[in-house]
Chain A
């Protein structure tokens, strides 16, 4: 009898247990009390710009970020800041160049062609220049495509063709980075000697390069404008290349925040470089008579050289005179 009563009581207790739990709320686990909730943690992460980071049991360590709010800033940069900066830099420079062409026209040779030429860039210098230049043009176009293509090119080509173009562009972008960087190193070695800023650059800059006056300040092998192009290419290009390699090899050097930063540095410097190179291309071809030959055949007209690089011509002539050694026993003209 006692046994049956005990059993009945036990059964009653079993039945009553869940029923009681349903009516009275269980207190929050002790450790959870006073802890921030999801929305609060997300807000804090956003304000601090730091991810909500945890522990994960899979090998993929980067998956341990629960939420990374910096993505929002990167999106704003890519879709707004970069589009505006890039658009203004490229279109603005094209506009300026068009205006300059309309006002100033093609810069002509003051004294006309002399018919005599002298070597300005040897084969190695020219080959290296065109390697860097051709890489740069493809890198620039495929890079611009990633930001502007979906607005400008996609409506014209349709999605499939646009993907084919962009995929090829991405491949080219990744692989041409290597010859581009090699060319930059060679450029630095070949031309750094003649690109150290000196006193002639001050007068050149003061005279505005003679672009508007038509009076060309004296310059050595490279004038201040060309030196600027050189340093923009070597330093800017070097930084763009370095930040690009970080992105080609994801997670080998930096984490996701580092990749976002690398992309920002890479793209901003790149669009500014594109603007600078547009000016370089203009003045080296359409903008100035006699300039293209320097990188074309490598030989420039004597009058062009005297006009734009008077000090360099003097140096070259002095060197040439030293090299001309009369054969032994030769008599100067009119000596006899």
Chain B
């Protein structure tokens, strides 16, 4: 099986936020929640770069390790998903996540945050694949249709890559070799304990 990963080539990302919009539209993400976001570091300074970030579907995922009700599970493609029917909205996954992926529909509401929501790698949830209830709870399930996440699929500069870790790493390495530079795979050290030398 594949080991699905995200890779954002920040030398290509132009901060157009199309990935954010695509994600919100494809998954009908509730107001106030951004499963994907674009962060610009060193804004206006030399070396400024924008990175599109979402759940990285970590190896040995911290969210799953700290969840008091064990609502997380990992698919055969190494995608980290969660069961909203089991989630109690305690916020622990949010404390542990390095990428700020888990979010809640309500904040500042007496701790009644509601069920956690995060990027599903467009792979839905534990419900029947592509059923109406799955779509309502988790959004679309493109993986079940043999497609990749929409954010990466429609990235205009192909900065955001999704797919099997080895394949997207080799695409990135080839790019770096051809262009002569690269700033590395953002989040890979944290999520996969792996580095892609630039």
Interface residues, chain A, CB within 8 Å of chain B? 22, 25-28, 30-32, 35, 37-40, 42-43, 46, 52-58, 60, 62-69, 71-72, 74-75, 78-79, 145-147, 149-150, 154, 159-160, 162-163, 166-167, 170-171, 174-175, 247-252, 256, 259-260, 263
User: Using a CB-CB cutoff of 8 Å, which residues 3-25 of chain B contact chain A?
Assistant: 10-11, 15, 17, 20
A42 to B189, Cβ gap below 8 A?
Answer: yes
Tell me if A's interface is mostly helix, strand, loop or mixed: helix
7 cross-chain pairs, A with B, having the tightest CB-CB distances, nearest first: A25-B180, A38-B184, A31-B46, A35-B47, A54-B41, A28-B181, A37-B184
Known contacts A39-B189, A150-B68, A63 near B100 by CB under 8 Å: yes
Q: Which residues of A contact B43 (CB under 8 A)?
A: 54-55
Q: Digit string of B63-84 for contact with A (CB within 8 Å is 1, else 0)?
A: 0011111110000000000010
Closest to A260 in B: B95
Interface centre among B34, B188, B190 (most CB of A within 10 A): B190
Give the bracket for the number of chain B residues in contact with chain A: 35 or more
Known contacts A25-B180, A146-B92, A162-B69, A66 near B186 by CB under 8 Å: yes
B34 to A60, Cβ gap below 8 A?
Answer: yes
Q: Which residues of B contact A149 (CB under 8 A)?
A: 68-69
A146 to B90, Cβ gap below 8 A?
Answer: yes
A57 to B38, Cβ gap below 8 A?
Answer: yes
Question: Within the assembled complex, what's the spacing in Å between the Cα atoms of A106 and B5?
Answer: 63
Q: Which residues of A contact B92 (CB under 8 A)?
A: 78, 146
Tell me, rounded to whole Å, the shortest Cβ–Cβ distance linking B49 to chain A.
Answer: 8
A-B contact pairs, 22 of them (CB 8 A): A37-B183, A38-B10, A38-B185, A38-B189, A54-B43, A55-B39, A57-B15, A63-B100, A64-B39, A66-B41, A69-B190, A72-B96, A74-B66, A78-B96, A150-B68, A159-B83, A160-B85, A163-B88, A166-B69, A166-B90, A175-B110, A248-B111
Question: Within the assembled complex, what's the spacing in Å between the Cα atoms of A145 and B10?
Answer: 43
Question: Within the assembled complex, what's the spacing in Å between the Cα atoms of A150 and B113?
Answer: 21
Known contacts A32-B183, A150-B68, A58 near B20 by CB under 8 Å: yes
A38 to B37, Cβ gap below 8 A?
Answer: no
Known contacts A71-B95, A74-B96, A79 near B66 by CB under 8 Å: yes
